[in-house]
Amino acid sequence: MGYVAARVRADVGATPLGFQQQNVAGGAEAALPLGEALNLRVTGLRRPVTESVLSYAGQRDPGTGRQWGGVMRTGARAQLEYAVNDRFGIYGGGGWQSLRGENVAANEMVEAGGGLYYAAIRTPEETLSVGPDLRYFHYNRNLGSFSYGQGGYFSPQSQVIGTLGADWKRQWGDLTARVQATLGWQRFHEHGAPAFPTDQALQAQLEANPALGPAGSTARSVGGPVGGLGANLEYAVSPTLRLGAIGRFAHTGNYSDATGLFYLRWRLDQPPQDLAPLLAGTPTRYPAGSWPMPAMLTNGAPEPVQLNGGAARPVW
């Protein structure tokens, strides 16, 4: 369930029923105007880490009955956004997150980044924004393995990503489409990590008996391409009812993932007209998807929104 206003949006939900671990998820964001062309965007979140079955749903060892996984990221982010004119702008910010799961070693992440955007097309029916983006990530611990106490999610000790992104949206009456694409380069480094970071006895046993297998992962540094493609199609059945579909493929770090869903969205307020779901009905242009997907699809890329004077600036 979500709420969207001109400068505030919030949502609350839960991880899917039937998972080994169940968690409440949600987030809130406020865009605070500091002037006609300057914005401060503050975000708080609690979201599941969806990179693997272990990190998302959790697992149980049938031999010992031990359960672990179901990692949640809880944190905050702040970003400054400046609109140079009605088509061009810059943004930059940073954030911190705490990552916790059942019987998973505790972890923290800090990130910082910024970029530029240019609205190549901006009409009531169609928008196209392009621009470069540069980001840095740091995790305290490497918990990318799947043994007991590990989290099953990519967590490098340093990662730098530079991308060029494009975001296209188009309206045809009650039908709205959106396509997002990014392409770039990354460099990351991972420290070596023990196989059982939360169980010293198991780790000592493994280290004392090399025949049982490796006692953990080794350090490595890797560079390579990064990119993603996402699409969203939504149809307005009525002024309050929306049907849609979302799909995404992304490659970053040392993994690739694909996500898709169909959704039904019901507006509790009555729009003034039967307007397109993405491009009208509110002065701020937000994605059409249900709560887990917009941030996952954009992965931090800026989205143009209206300012007091009609200029554009990005939204996370």
pLDDT for the residue numbered 271: 56
Coil/strand/helix, residue 208: helix
pLDDT tens string, the chain, 316 residues long: the values are 777 777 888 888 888 888 888 899 998 988 888 988 888 989 999 999 988 999 999 999 988 899 999 999 999 999 998 888 888 889 999 999 999 999 999 999 999 999 998 889 888 888 898 999 999 999 999 999 999 999 999 999 999 999 998 988 898 888 889 998 889 999 999 999 999 999 999 999 999 998 888 899 999 999 999 888 889 898 888 878 889 898 888 887 777 878 888 888 887 766 544 333 333 333 333 332 222 233 333 333 333 333 333 333 333 2
pLDDT for the residue numbered 66: 93
- Give the C-alpha separation, 286 to 166, whole Å: 16
Q: Which two tokens stand for residue 9?
A: 């949006």
Say if residues 54 and 67 touch (Cβ distance below 8 Å): no
pLDDT for the residue numbered 293: 30
- Give the C-alpha separation, 140 to 193, whole Å: 11
Q: Which two tokens stand for residue 122?
A: 């901006």
Looking at residue 30, its amino acid is: A
- Give the C-alpha separation, 54 to 179, whole Å: 30
Q: Where are the domains of the chain?
A: 77-313
Looking at residue 218, the DSSP 8-state letter turns out to be: P
Closest CA to 135 of 259, 36, 226: 226
pLDDT for the residue numbered 275: 39
Q: Where are the alpha helices (DSSP H) in the chain?
A: 53-57, 200-208, 293-298
pLDDT for the residue numbered 162: 92
- Give the C-alpha separation, 183 to 75, whole Å: 27
